[in-house]
Structure 1
Amino acid sequence: MNELHVAGLTKSYGAGEPVLRGLELTVPAGALAAVLGPSGCGKTTMLRIVAGFLRADAGTVRLGDRLLAGPGVHLPPERRRIGIVPQEGALFPHLSVARNVAFGLRGTDRAERRRRTEELLDLVGLAGYGDRMPHELSGGQQQRVALARALAPRPQLVLLDEPFNALDSALRTGVRSDVRAALRATGATAVLVTHDQQEALSTADLVAVVRDGQVAQCATPQDLYRRPADPWIADFVGDAVMLPGTVDSDGTARTALGPVPLATPPGDLRAGTVLLRPEQLRLTDADSEDAVRGTVTDVRYYGHDAMVTVTVEGHDTPVGIRVAGLLAVRPGEETGIRVVGEAGFHS
């Protein structure tokens, strides 16, 4: 088995504040986990400790039944059976594509190296590119070669360190999809470090949000988006509409947008923050009986949808409403707002 289990990971640099504060993370065998967080939260430090490039001050790293790091144990990187896909590919510029992929296959005979190289290039969609040099490839093709090189020795774990940063937005989606498909085809466990929320949600089986050196929440992308553990995570992972609210005895929250049913009973909590996503709000006629009246202040059109900002009486912060299809409102116009679905509730 190749399950990754990180427990109690702590790391400081010099006399400064700890970067990691007892970080815990488990990635099931064969899963792709995204480690998501703002700059400086500790996600890259965690990756480097798992890879063996840094020593932790405390804690353990296990891969399957092997202890890679722990009290008195620090297995060197070359013995960890971990493949690494760095930022921008980092291919050897003087080696052909095929020789880059075969670099980690030393100790095998020439025929086996060639067979494995061709197999991996076919897997990442670059069959027939073996004789090309790295400078003859696009950025997306270079990242595919870097992935093939990481997978060639059949690692138990693949670490991807923000590998799509250098790609333009039009190319990034396609390369992410190809990388995800290649990882699933090999069955390798993988960890993707990123600060891109959309990338994490659309690519990973599991998303771990890191805050101040700890995993604040780890869940499937859908659960993380729909049931964030606190308002900070809600605001960090996607757009959020947060309103003060009071809870009635029937489990309904009273807000500036009217009564909103709650997904989970709040227990004894009677006042707090009601959490909604912009797609849970609908624009309706300003005179609708079941709608709250507001004034449109801004419209941002993205093609596939638009974000309409509306001010509502009794709420100081304008609310964002995600609208699909044709827009029927303009800044300055009055509109109605109706809430659909259930909301989260936090203290």
Structure 2
Amino acid sequence: MNELHIEGLTKSYGAGEPVLRGLALTVRAGALAAVLGPSGCGKTTLLRIVAGFLHADAGTVRLGDRTLVGPGVHLPPERRRIGIVPQEGALFPHLNVARNVAFGLTGTDRAERRRRTEEMLDLVGLAGHGDRMPHELSGGQQQRVALARALAPRPQLVLLDEPFNALDSALRTGVRSDVRAALRATGATAVLVTHDQQEALSTADLVAVVRDGRVAQCDTPQNLYRRPADPWIADFVGDAVLLRGTVDDDGTAVTALGAVPLADPPAGLRAGTVLLRPEQLHLTDVDSVGTVRGTVTDVSYYGHDAMVTVTVEGHDTPVGIRVAGPLTVRPGEKTGIRVVGEGGLHGDDGSPRG
């Protein structure tokens, strides 16, 4: 099995503050996990320790039934059976595509290397490109070659270090989809390190949010977005509407946007921060029954949807409302707002309460 287990991982550089502070993470065999977090949270340090390029101060890393890192154990990188896809591909410029892919295929005869190389190029959609040089490929094609090179030796684990950063936004989506399909076709366990929330949510089976050297929350993309562990995570993984609220006896929160039903009403908590997402707020006519009035202050149009910013009396921070379809409001106009669906409630200490 290729399950990855990381427990109690700690790492400091010199006499400075620890970068990793007892980080723990489990990735089931065959899954693609995204490690997401702000700059300086420890994502790259984690990847380099798992790859074998850095020594951990403490903790263990196990891949299947093998210990890679542990007390008195530091398996060399070349013995870990880990493939790496770095930023911008990092192909060998003096080798053609086929030789780049075959680079790690040691201990096999020429016919097997050629067969495996052709198989990997076909898997990433580059069949027939083996004779080309790296400089003759687009950025997206180079990343596919880098993935083929990482997969060719049949690794137990593939590490992807922000591999789509250099691609333009239109190309990035297609390459991400191709990479995910190729990983699933081989059954390899994979870890994607990224600071891009959309990339993590749309690509991975599991997302681990790292904060201050620890995993703050690890869950499926949908659960992470819908049920974040605290307001900071809610705001980090997507646009969030955070409101002060008091809780009625029926488990409904009273907020500046009106009454909000709570998912899993809390026990004993009478006030806290209510979390909603912008798509849960709908614009309505100002005179509609059961709506709250506000003033439009800004409209950002994205084509597929728009973000309308509205100020609401009794709430200090303007709220964002995601609107699909034609826009019917402009800055300066009054509008009604209606909440759809349930909110989550967090205590003042950030703890989830529903």
Q: CA deviation at 1:135?
A: 0.2
Q: Is the deviation greater in 296-305 or in 258-267?
A: 258-267
CA distance in 2, matches of 1:233, 1:18: 21
CA distance in 2, matches of 1:102, 1:231: 47
Q: Which residue of 2 aligns with 1:287?
A: 287
Task: Name the Cα RMSD after superposition.
Answer: 0.4
Q: Which residue of 2 aligns with 1:342?
A: 342
CA distance in 1, matches of 2:163, 2:68: 24
Q: Which residue of 1 aligns with 2:83?
A: 83
Q: AA paired with 1:336?
A: G
CA distance in 2, matches of 1:120, 1:270: 58
The secondary structure found in structure 2 opposite 1:83 is strand
CA distance in 2, matches of 1:284, 1:99: 61
Q: Which residue of 2 aligns with 1:269?
A: 269
CA distance in 2, matches of 1:36, 1:44: 10
CA distance in 2, matches of 1:202, 1:189: 17
Q: CA deviation at 1:282?
A: 0.3
Q: AA paired with 1:144?
A: R
* 2:160 is equivalent to residue 160 of structure 1: yes
Q: Deviations over 1:254-287 (max 9, x none)?
A: 0000000001222111111000000000000001
Q: CA deviation at 1:38?
A: 0.1
Q: Deviations over 1:173-226 (max 9, x none)?
A: 000000000000000000000000000000000000000000000000000000
* 2:122 is equivalent to residue 122 of structure 1: yes
CA distance in 2, matches of 1:324, 1:46: 39
Q: Which residue of 1 aligns with 2:58?
A: 58
Q: Deviations over 1:277-311 (max 9, x none)?
A: 00000000001111000000000000000000000
Q: Which residue of 2 aligns with 1:250?
A: 250
Q: Which residue of 2 aligns with 1:134?
A: 134
Q: Which residue of 1 aligns with 2:352?
A: none
Superposed, 1:203-214 pairs within 5 Å as 203-214=203-214
CA distance in 1, matches of 2:10, 2:269: 34
Q: AA paired with 1:257?
A: L
Q: Deviations over 1:62-116 (max 9, x none)?
A: 0000000000000000000000000000000000000000000011000000000
Which 4+ runs in 1 deviate beyond 2 A?
none
Structure 1 regions of 5+ residues with no counterpart?
Answer: none
CA distance in 1, matches of 2:195, 2:268: 36
CA distance in 2, matches of 1:291, 1:126: 55
CA distance in 1, matches of 2:214, 2:250: 36
* 2:218 is equivalent to residue 218 of structure 1: yes
Q: Deviations over 1:108-155 (max 9, x none)?
A: 000000000000000000000000000000000000000000000000
CA distance in 2, matches of 1:158, 1:312: 48
The secondary structure found in structure 2 opposite 1:48 is helix
CA distance in 2, matches of 1:181, 1:97: 20
CA distance in 2, matches of 1:130, 1:102: 10
Length-normalised TM-score, structure 1: 1.00
CA distance in 1, matches of 2:264, 2:214: 25
The secondary structure found in structure 2 opposite 1:310 is strand
CA distance in 2, matches of 1:181, 1:289: 48
Length-normalised TM-score, structure 2: 0.98
CA distance in 1, matches of 2:10, 2:266: 34
Superposed, 1:1-347 pairs within 5 Å as 1-347=1-347
CA distance in 1, matches of 2:265, 2:66: 43
CA distance in 1, matches of 2:344, 2:12: 36
The secondary structure found in structure 2 opposite 1:102 is helix
Task: Give the share of equivalent positions with the same residue, in percent.
Answer: 90
Q: CA deviation at 1:46?
A: 0.4
Q: AA paired with 1:229?
A: A
**Matched residue pairs, number?**
347
Q: AA paired with 2:271?
A: A
The secondary structure found in structure 2 opposite 1:317 is coil
The secondary structure found in structure 1 opposite 2:201 is helix
CA distance in 2, matches of 1:107, 1:32: 29
The secondary structure found in structure 1 opposite 2:317 is strand
Q: AA paired with 1:156?
A: Q
CA distance in 1, matches of 2:317, 2:298: 13
CA distance in 1, matches of 2:7, 2:43: 14
The secondary structure found in structure 1 opposite 2:326 is coil
